Structure 1
């Protein structure tokens, strides 16, 4: 059945961000399923409207802040959608992740405009006795999550762990449903990349991500300890933040700076081509690999061996389905795993096969769309 969806998102291309990229992909794929889709995002300047690939994109000044919520509500009432689909991560909507006016408005919109469906990419900022300066942030994000969950007609979570978090936050009208995040590169043919000439025996150790503090420390340890073991190895840094990290290392004069390959931020087809040239992707996650990690999905979908780790947010199937995975977010464990995989082509091939099978069974876009369109 054809429905009119309005996707509410705090970020949308050309703005940088994984949720924005995901929202754009989701909108385009819903249109391919014969759905009508309007994306509503915020603008810092004037109101604008664009259309492309069947998706209508409305940008409203300060759309989700107190000054713009009235205009956003009027536009929503004019659109008369069948469903409101909120891409929720608290930090995406301003007010330093404490946007109580939006949380309150969502309840009203869900009652009087259209059923509110929510995809929780993140839920709350956690309480911690070790970070008392963030107690107000934790309290408000918990309050917002409770308000939004109680207003929603359907609730989706991108990681199993968020189900437990939502249950602790407060009662919900409906049970949450698991909706893992597919790869943004699914179906993208590798092309358009200016790759260096392929050299037999050369080893490319890659990383794709946003380069958080722990990931940077693991990559630095890999440069210091792994690269010397492989004289023909290079470290390939892909994604946002890669050039900044490479520049920091070069300024510090690290011994492996001449073995870095940093192509910068790439369009999807070129990124897919660069990933295909990597022998191994080293992907450390401080909270563990999980179904919300699009960088892990890129490796599984593209058939690239993945060296990663379990953690508190990891779903149980990772340790069962991947034959090689670090048991905890420890640098030494990841380096040991990466060393073993780089030295064993058979294990890399086995890991690739298992990863592709896992992606095909659980994470494909058509699996997600089937759940949404039920």
Structure 2
């Protein structure tokens, strides 16, 4: 028997953001498994063609795979009552909070109290996309960590997306904790050499040009500035393309500040002619650009992690990937097998790795095949099935 599942998320398409894209893919897969899904999210996610009368604003919008409730504005304390009303009206069995502080523009800890508000109303599970603390307000200090701890402890169950977060939480919680990795938020579309040639030609690339690809929004944690420094050490054959939107809907001010600094860095190093930008693209065009790059380079400052949707997209597209050594053991990421690992912040080693892969076609093919094989472990059907089983476990425990 299918469940009635509520997914609470601070962002959802057409808003740009990894958590929103994750929620959409999870909802689609849960729907395919026969569950009824309600997505409770920001007003900014209201489809542009949806009615905007006062009455219609209170009603869910039917999309292909879910009922969409774009009702929330600033994610403050009144938001809890709005969510509780939706849960009661639609008799939801379980509410799954997609938690990443930046997605909720957190100047308030209200969302951290949602499991407490829904106690004896519906089962709650929190998916931690990361364990970063919210900003809340100046000098919040220890209250930031306290808010995260309260959220984890008041939920009926917790989902982590990577081994490091799982290890951090499992020893501190009495409620069930399960690790369910994320999948690629970009479907690998079939393309051909004509489309690939068109993309490279539009960029003005001719043999022996080498195109490096970077995918994802730009912020300090993802190491794009290190990549620019490495590009400056490489000769004029090497070009870099930033694929997709640049700052996203979450934490836009900080991301914009980083982007502005990155553009100044590019100009100061004389790289304007070798750095290209696509801007926001459809999934199909993102997929084509990923395949048009000779290799993908994503030097995360906090190390590669299976919680990164951008990394999962690289794997799903079977691309040779250069990334940074994980800060915690991640057996799936084997250097020379599924990816090519370099030290965090190592500009010289990053440039050397690019040269190595450029000169070794056999290694590039090996890494691409290894990435695609690894990605098979992270299908959305499998992720949704594991998530639904966890929800069923919570429901069987009773209140």
Kept in 1, the 8 Å contact 2:84–2:117? The answer is no
Q: For residue 73 of structure 1, what is the aligned residue in structure 2?
A: 84
| Alignment counterpart, residue 231 of structure 2, candidates 223, 227, 248 | 223
- Secondary structure of 1:105's aligned partner: helix
Counterpart CA distance in 2 for 1:199 and 1:369 is 43
Question: Partner residue of 1:272?
Answer: 287
User: Relative to 1, partners in 2 of residues 1:106 and 1:180: Cα closer, same or farther, differing over 3 Å?
Assistant: same
Distance across 2 between alignment mates of 1:335 and 1:83? 48
Match of 1:261 among 273, 276, 290: 276
Kindly report which structure 2 residues correspond to 1:158-169, keeping only aligned pairs within 5 A, or say none.
Answer: 158-167=161-170
Q: Which position in structure 1 is the counterpart of 2:213?
A: 206
List runs of 5+ in structure 1 lacking aligned partners: 127-132
Structure 1 counterpart of 2:140: 136
Structure 1 partner of 2:250: none
Note the C-alpha offset of 1:50. Answer: 2.0
Quote the Cα distance in structure 1 between the aligned partners of 2:214 and 2:261: 12
Spell out the pairing of 1:354-369 with structure 2 (5 A cutoff).
Answer: 354-360=370-376, 362-369=377-384
Greater CA drift, 40-49 or 54-63: 40-49
Equivalent pair of 2:8/2:96 in contact (CA under 8 Å)? yes
- Asked if 2 retains the 8 angstrom alpha-carbon contact of 1:290 and 1:314, the reply is no
Q: Which moved more, 1:249-258 or 1:59-68?
A: 249-258
Q: Which of structures 1 and 2 has the larger relative contact order (alpha carbons within 8 angstroms, sep 6+)? A: 2
Contact 1:149–1:172 (CA under 8 A) maintained in structure 2: no
C-alpha spacing 1:268/1:88, structure 2 compared with 1 (3 Å): same
1:42–1:255 Cα change, 3 Å: closer
Inter-partner Cα distance in structure 2 for 1:75 and 1:365: 26
Could you say what the CA RMSD is over the residues aligned between the two structures, in angstroms? Answer: 2.9
Secondary structure of 1:271's partner? helix
- For 1:71 and 1:184, the matched residues in 2 are separated by 28
Partner residue in 2 for 1:129: none
The count of residues paired between Structure 1 and Structure 2 equals 359
What does residue 93 of structure 1 align with? Answer: 104
1:33-182 → structure 2 map (5 Å cutoff): 33-43=33-43, 47=57, 49-62=60-73, 64-96=75-107, 98-99=108-109, 101-109=110-118, 111-125=119-133, 136-137=140-141, 139-167=142-170, 170-174=172-176, 176-182=177-183
Output the CA distance in 1 between the equivalents of 2:357 and 2:26: 34
SS in 1 for 2:199: coil
Structure 2 gaps of 5+ residues are 45-51, 248-255, 390-399
Q: CA deviation at 1:207?
A: 0.8
